[in-house]
Amino acid sequence: MASTPVALILGAGPRIGTSVASKFASAGYKIAVASRSGTGTKNANGYLALKADFTKPDSIPALFDAVKAEFDTAPSVVIYNAAALTPPPDNNSLFSVGADSFTADLNVNTVSPYVVAQHAVKEWETLPNETKKSFIYTGNILNTKVPPVPMMLTLGVGKSASAYWVGLADAAYAARGYRFFYADERLEDGKSKGQAIDGPAHGEFFAQLASHEGGVPWHATFVADKGYVKF
Domain spans of the chain? Answer: 6-228
Per-residue pLDDT of the chain (231 residues; tens, 9 = 90+): 446 999 999 998 889 999 999 999 999 999 999 999 898 999 989 999 999 999 999 999 999 999 999 999 999 999 999 999 999 999 989 999 999 999 999 999 999 999 999 999 999 999 999 999 999 999 999 999 999 999 999 999 999 999 999 999 999 999 999 999 999 999 999 999 989 999 999 999 999 999 999 999 999 999 999 999 999
Paired with 224 in beta bridges are none
Q: Which of 139, 11, 156 is nearest to 88 (CA)?
A: 156
Other CB atoms within 10 Å distance of the CB of residue 8: 30
DSSP conformational letter for 152: G
Architecture of domain 6-228: 3-Layer(aba) Sandwich (3.40)
CA distance 75 to 66: 11
Catalytic sites, residue numbers: 159
**How far apart, in whole angstroms, are the C-alpha atoms of residue 10 and residue 41?**
15
